[in-house]
Chain A
Amino acid sequence: MSKNTVSDRFRKVDVDEYDENKFVDEEDGGENQLGPDEAEVDSLIRSGNLMGALQAVLKNPPINTKNQNVKERAEGLVLKVLSAFKTSDIEKAVQSLDKTGVDLLMKYIYRGFEKPSDNSSAILLQWHEKALSAGGVGSIVRVLTARKTV
């Protein structure tokens, strides 16, 4: 009486998948997006051109692709560039970006928050403060509402 002897597998069925009115995002064909160029960014960091590295790493964001590896690689690269900056240079770097650049930077910052590692949160928080003063609350709203994320 106290033990359920009938299978309860039905409880694990995802009913939403069978809903005929389920909202499916439009496919945008992001199979060719490879993310920022690793070699180019690495060479720019090594040569000390951090502003250039930032511009380069924000190119080709893997927004439309479903391949998680590409996205992880892109995020790792961005984190490398952001950590290479000196605290005093962060503000100037953010000023050099245009509106879409600031929005994209915010997306990467929040993605970085999701998987914190040793010192990453502290660095990301500094970048977050400067990006917030440049992009305003609106840029954070756009991170939250974006259907296609980095």
Chain B
Amino acid sequence: MSYHSFLLEPISCHAWNKDRTQIALCPNNHEVHIYKKDGNNWSKIHVLKEHNGQVTGIDWAPESNRIVTCGTDRNAYVWTLKGDAWKPTLVILRINRAARCVKWSPKENKFAVGSGSRLISVCYFEKDNDWWVCKHIKKPIRSTILCLDWHPNNVLLAAGSCDFKCRIFSAYIKEVEEKPAPTAWGSKMPFGEVMFESTGTAGWVHGVCFSDSGNRVAWASHDSTVAVAEGGKTAVCASLTSETLPLLCVTFITENSLVAAGHDCYPVLFVYDSNKAALSFGGKLDVPKQSAQKGMTARERFQNLDKKATTDSKEAVLESVHKNSISQISILNGGKAQCAKFCTTGMDGGMTIWDVKTLESAMKDLKIV
């Protein structure tokens, strides 16, 4: 894996372009910086300044090469590359609280914004007026929407919220698309319909992700649990309580395996067995450097006892690659079906690119099914 430290401040959010040569990230302020890969280094090529509040979500559409950003100033902007500069277009979201997350739909003709106003704004481009228009999904959301993910059919949207529930909504916009075919989550999909609502887990839902086929959805919740639900006549839910601190982001890397990361600063693998409808812990994906165990001199021992009231020789230094919570995880190569590389960014201002093959060979018991 390769670690690159961009900043000293946390990276609020990031997004990659189609060929993974450029990354757009927010350095915990009102701007978006775009870095380009330059051999082994990263050079800043663009600075996007339009937001008046912290940028909380960035998504880069691979095919149409447009960036959508949303921030705490209750606005979203769609940026298009004109020549050598990125030009913003304001999108009126009609929200009265901060926007928290934004995602382009798979066909890139719509995007959804989750906000603190307890609603989701689904925005689409109206050709007649040459303007982005939005529709709201309000019921039955009762608190801030923290995370979103689109189903591959471009209509269903999974949303994790602070009211302790993960829901799947239909975001069908008749102006831009045809009626969708039936899916595992249901066949009637009018706009705003709740196709699935989770029960059982307590705790804010920090991260949500559809699998590649769209038949499964996984979410990570603040009560240190991860859960997977499989669509069907009756949705089957499997959850796993973990012994670690809460996880903040989760993604599928194959149809049966998930990688999640959070406040413990290292990514973790989970494996879902659909026959038993059970989720199990697959392994810690960080390879700690084996620090040489020096023998403690008597002087050091007394110093430790004096300073820290302990004779423990273990230092209070994190052994993981990231030195602070990991807040976002994104797939680089291979898609959600056969991910080969994924990337994590965190509150330590660093970005790590993880290679699935090297992880598999490095950790003996790791099996990614």
Chain A positions within 8 Å of B246 at CB level:
141
A141 touches B163 (CB 8 A): no
A62 part of interface (Cβ distance < 8 Å): no
A66 part of interface (Cβ distance < 8 Å): no
A145 part of interface (Cβ distance < 8 Å): yes
Q: How far is the CA of A146 from the CA of B246 in the complex (A)?
A: 13
Q: How many residues of A contact B (CB 8 A)?
A: 15
Contact with A along B216-228 (1 / 0, CB 8 A): 0000001111000
A147 part of interface (Cβ distance < 8 Å): yes
B164 part of interface (Cβ distance < 8 Å): yes
B33 part of interface (Cβ distance < 8 Å): no
Closest to B163 in A: A23
Chain B positions within 8 Å of A146 at CB level:
202, 223
Centre residue among B163, B164, B241 by max chain A CB count within 10 A: B241
Contact residues of A between 70 and 110, Cβ < 8 Å to B: 99, 103
User: Of B143, B244, B245, which is within 8 A of A23 by CB?
Assistant: B143
A138 touches B143 (CB 8 A): no
Q: How far is the CA of A138 from the CA of B201 in the complex (A)?
A: 14
Q: How far is the CA of A147 from the CA of B244 in the complex (A)?
A: 20
Chain B positions within 8 Å of A21 at CB level:
118, 142
Q: How far is the CA of A88 from the CA of B142 in the complex (A)?
A: 48
User: Of B142, B143, B243, which is within 8 A of A137 by CB?
Assistant: B243
B213 part of interface (Cβ distance < 8 Å): no
Contact with A along B233-251 (1 / 0, CB 8 A): 0000000011111100000
Closest to B223 in A: A145
User: Of B142, B143, B224, which is within 8 A of A141 by CB?
Assistant: B224
Closest to A134 in B: B243
A135 touches B243 (CB 8 A): yes
Closest to B164 in A: A147
Q: How far is the CA of A82 from the CA of B241 in the complex (A)?
A: 25
User: Of A23, A141, A148, which is within 8 A of B222 by CB?
Assistant: A141
A139 part of interface (Cβ distance < 8 Å): yes
Chain B positions within 8 Å of A52 at CB level:
none
Closest to B203 in A: A145
B222 touches A145 (CB 8 A): yes
A145-B223, A146-B202, A146-B223 known; A138+B245 contact, CB < 8 A? yes
A136 part of interface (Cβ distance < 8 Å): yes
Q: How far is the CA of A147 from the CA of B163 in the complex (A)?
A: 11
Contact with B along A106-150 (1 / 0, CB 8 A): 000000000000000000000000000001111101100111100
Write the residues of chain A forming the contact surface with B, with a CB cutoff of 8 angstroms: 21, 23, 99, 103, 135-139, 141-142, 145-148
5 cross-chain pairs, A with B, having the tightest CB-CB distances, nearest first: A136-B243, A138-B224, A145-B223, A138-B243, A145-B203
